[in-house]
Structure 1
Amino acid sequence: MAKQKPLKVVVATRLYAPEVGAAAFRLKALVDGLVEQGAEVEVITTRAPKGAGVFRPPYRLTRWPVLRDPGGNVRGYVQYLSFDIPAFFRLLAVKADMVVSEPPPTTGLVVALSSLLRRRPFVYYAADVWTEALSAMEVPETVKSVMGALEGFVLRRAAKVIAVSEPVAGQVARFNVPAERIHVVGNGVDNGVFSPDGPVAAVAKPYFIYTGTMSEWQGAGIFIEALPLVRERFPDAEVRFFGQGTDEANLKALAAAKVPGAVHFGGVIAPAEVAPWIRGAAGALVSIKPGQGYDFAKPTKIYAAAGCGTPVVFAGQGDGGAIVAEGGLGSAAPYEAQAVAEAMSAVLADSTLGGMQSADARVQWVADHASLAASGRVAAEAVRTVVRRPAGTKAI
């Protein structure tokens, strides 16, 4: 009997390690899981931005130049297409048993079309559903209709859709995707990096930390609005932002107007560099602005903070707040400045919130429920079940 060749999987993504971002972390965990389970993997991605560091994995990684916005992000339709169009031809040229795509749907489309031409299946890794978010934004109806049709085509063509949560799976199902083709794998963080063990930032004044993307739908400005109220009781309290995004300029202007000198922006730094800042913070700030179509989101910054033992202050409604409250990970408040200020003040006064929580319990909750490595292995197994190739069959 001929020896079976390893499964060949190609992952197409505009973001990948060493670039900092939830998508990059999530897909690296998937690839690590695939390699661990014996697959041969190639990642087709973009050239990492300056200062991202060096990453040399044991699998094939091909990069292509891409347009980035002024903040260094691959965000916006022109930027997406600068990756998608070359990726289409790169995918046509590569041999594989299957391809894995991530959002946006434009990338899903080029993966779907190239897979159709090469007669091979593809898997769509849905961290969110774009059409749902567009429905709450001031976007022309024509754009919403086109994007909805495009996203629906991609989801229905996929051999399997991997969803990061049950709410995302429910949104995928609305596109008439059969339930048996939707697989929920969960999400998480690297709890080897985001742990209570390690250096702690040495800062004299108490501070809150916000990490990751700063976008309009997250509405992190609510914490700046709340900070003057917090400082009535804790006059030295500050907020430190690490990351970037489309709302960063607005946040800086708001901070200068509301609390000059008390809000600091540290830019994008690697996970290992941000972890000491999280460990030293009085609390980690997470927000989802209501009515923007993202109430189902469970931001990974929740898990990063809890993994370090740091309490979370969540502003908004929906699943993120429920996780914080039910998991004993901090305090959840309505998206309103006074309520958020009270939650921030509560964790400043007592990180255990009256003895009801503990740093150790938060760390254990992440280990039990939000390990990125574990979710990557589950996602890898879901990908592998799509193709059960007979021994000796070659990739196409």
Structure 2
Amino acid sequence: MTAHPRLRVVVATRLFTPEVGAAAFRLQALVDGLVAAGADVSVVTTRAPGGATAGNVPFRISRWPVLRDGGGNVRGYVQYLSFDVPAFFRLLLQRADVVVSEPPPTTGLMVALSSWLRRRPFVYYAADVWSEALSATDVPGFVISLMRRVEGFVLRRAARVIAISDAVAEQVARFDVPAERVQVVANGVDTSVFNPQGDAADSDRPYFAYTGTISEWQGADVFIRALPLVQRKYPTAEIRFFGQGTDEPALRALADEVAPGSVVFGGVVPPREAAAWLRGAVAALVSIKPGQGYDFAKPTKIYAAAGCGARVIFAGPGEGAAVVANNGLGDAVDHDPDAVAAAMIAALEEEDTGRGHRSQWVGENASLAAAGQAAAAIVASVGRTQP
């Protein structure tokens, strides 16, 4: 019997563990799934802040210095290109049967061009549709138009597009990507971390927890505007933010104005610490700002919170609200301070009997390990079908 050679896979991403973020966790799960299936995996990524490493791992990691913004993020076109341009040449030197790209589309473009030159396929892992997300910001129209062209070029040339939801798949289809090339693998969280069994944070004040990215399109200011209404009945209630993002300075200023001393910004914390804060929270806060073209998003914050058993208060429209409302994960309300305040007060007043149900639902429907294995199978199928 002739042994099949090991499948060689290269993953190109500006974010990878030990950095904290949904993209880093998602790609770590993909790599874990590929390694478990016997693939030879290399990750082309950035040098993590402070020189942190992923430790001893059963795959190769090639790290490169990158420009970061004031918050330590690889966010902004200069920062993206500081990874993308070197990545193009790094990928040309890599042997691979298939390459995987994560957004932004500028990275996808480098992967597409290098893959064309090396005559090998690539898979695009679409956590969102980038040009749609830009519509929620104050980016000039010509930039959005340019990025839409780049994104369409990348999506149409990918051997497969992995979309994290049906809604993302529908948006991908608008770029004239053949339906048979698009496959959905739902997002998830690490249920070995985000579960109800660990320690819960201790606080002298009842608090609501917001974890993860803090961007304009999420509109997390609605929770801060709601807090003074909550404090009329529960004066000691507070909000704790864990994460960072472009909207953080504005939220800090708003908090100082309307709820001084009652909004705490804890920065980026390790997943296990975030889980402890979620377990001890009255409820977890998640939002999508309406009218920004981002109603299709299902923030991973939902799964992380519910996995810990926490009640979720979701402010805004769309897919995320439906996940919360239809699966008994908490309350889906309008993106409005009065509606949010009413949900926060109800969470303070009512006995929470749904913790077990929420964590069980996440375990059965939003396991990151299962998502990684499913995505790995798609990537492997592309690599194995090449001559």
Indicate the TM-score class for this superposition, using the shorter chain for normalisation.
Answer: over 0.9
**Kept in 1: contact 2:309–2:355 (CA 8 A):** yes
Task: Please report how far the alpha carbon of residue 221 of structure 1 lies from its aligned counterpart in structure 2 after TM superposition.
Answer: 0.8
* 2:371 aligned partner: 375
TM-fit CA distance, 1:54:
4.7
Confirm or deny: 8 A CA contact 1:99 1:111 kept in the other structure: yes
TM-score normalised per structure 2? 0.98
Provide the residue aligned with 1:325 in structure 2: 325
- Match of 1:11, SS state, is strand
Q: Quote how far apart the aligned CAs of 1:138 are.
A: 3.3
Counterparts of 1:261-300 in structure 2, within 5 Å, are: 261-300=261-300
The answer for the alignment partner of 1:182 in structure 2 is: 182
Partner residue of 2:245? 245
Using the TM superposition, give the Cα deviation of residue 274 of structure 1 relative to its aligned residue in structure 2, in angstroms: 1.2
CA gap of 1:222–1:51, structure 2 versus 1, over 3 A, is farther
Q: Report the alpha carbon displacement of residue 51 of structure 1 after superposing the two structures with TM.
A: 7.7
Which shifted more, 99-108 or 128-137? 128-137
Q: Is the 8 A contact 2:137 2:216 kept in 1?
A: no
Q: Is the 8 A contact 2:115 2:122 kept in 1?
A: yes
Report the Cα offset of residue 2 of structure 1. 3.6
1:279-312 deviation per Cα after TM superposition (whole angstroms, max 9, x unaligned): 0000000011111121110001100110010100
Superposition deviation, residue 133 in structure 1? 2.0
**Distance in 2 (alpha carbons) for counterparts of 1:218 and 1:331:** 17
| Residue 388 of structure 1: how far off its partner (Å) | 2.0
Partners of 2:206 and 2:140 lie apart in 1 by 44
Q: CA deviation at 1:389?
A: 5.4
CA–CA separation in structure 1 for the residues paired with 2:124 and 2:212? 23
Q: Give runs of aligned pairs for residues 55-66 of structure 1, distance below 5 A.
A: 55-66=55-66
Gaps of 5+ in 2: none
> Matched residues, percent identical?
66
State which of 344, 361, 365 in structure 1 corresponds to 2:357.
361
1:387 corresponds in structure 2 to 383
Query: 2:73 matched to which residue of 1?
Result: 73
Partner of 1:19: 19
Determine the C-alpha separation between the residues in 1 that align with 2:199 and 2:163: 34
User: Conserved in 1, the CA contact under 8 Å of 2:136 and 2:217?
Assistant: no
Maintained 8 Å contact 2:101/2:107:
yes
- Answer whether contact 2:135 2:144 (CA < 8 A) is retained: yes
1:351 Cα shift?
A: 4.6
Q: Supply the AA of the counterpart residue of 2:240.
A: R
- Counterpart AA for 2:42: E
Q: What is the deviation of 1:379?
A: 0.4
- Whole-Å separation in 1 of the counterparts to 2:135 and 2:270: 33
User: For each residue in 1:5-25, what CA deviation from the matched residue of structure 2 results, as whole angstroms up to 9, or x when unmatched?
Assistant: 110000000000000000000
Q: Deviations over 1:83-104 (max 9, x none)?
A: 0000000000010001000000
* Contact residue 243 and residue 266 of structure 1 kept, 8 A: yes
Structure 2 counterpart SS, 1:17: coil
Aligned to 2:126: 126
Q: CA deviation at 1:56?
A: 2.8
2:94 corresponds to? 94
Secondary structure at the aligned position of 2:33 is classed as helix
Count of residue pairs the alignment pairs up? 387
* Amino acid aligned to 1:379: A
SS in structure 1 of the partner of residue 50 of structure 2: coil
Alpha-carbon shift at residue 373 of structure 1 (Å) = 0.4
Please give the secondary structure, in 2, of the residue aligned with 1:331: strand
Closer/same/farther in 2, CA of residues 261 and 136 from structure 1, 3 Å limit: closer
Q: Deviations over 1:177-198 (max 9, x none)?
A: 0000000010010011000011
Aligned to 2:157: 157
Q: CA–CA distance in 2 between the matches of 1:351 and 1:120?
A: 56
Shift of 1:385: 1.0
Q: Write the distance in 1 (CA, Å) between the matches of 2:140 and 2:189.
A: 36
- Partner Cα distance (1:100, 1:314) in 2: 32
**Inter-partner Cα distance in structure 2 for 1:9 and 1:371:** 23
**Once the 2 structures are TM-superposed, how far is the Cα of residue 347 of structure 1 from its aligned partner?**
1.1
1:315-340 residue CA offsets vs partner (Å, 9 max, x unmatched) = 10101111111111111110000000
How far has the Cα of 1:387 moved from its partner?
A: 2.4
Which residue number corresponds to residue 106 of structure 1? 106
CA contact under 8 A between 1:17 and 1:55: conserved in structure 2? no
- Corresponding residue for 2:230? 230
Gaps of 5+ in 1: none
Question: Displacement, 1:33?
Answer: 0.5
Which amino acid counterpart does residue 322 of structure 1 have in structure 2?
A: A
Tell me if the contact between 2:46 and 2:83 (Cα under 8 Å) persists in the aligned partners: yes
Quote the Cα distance in structure 2 between the aligned partners of 1:171 and 1:326.
23
Q: Secondary structure at the match of 2:341?
A: helix
Q: CA RMSD in A?
A: 1.3
Q: Is the 8 A contact 1:218 1:289 kept in 2?
A: yes
SS class of match (2:108): helix
Q: Structure 1 residue 141: deviation in Å?
A: 2.5
> Partner of 2:166 in structure 1?
166
Pairing 1:201–2:201 present: yes
Q: Cα offset for 1:137?
A: 3.6
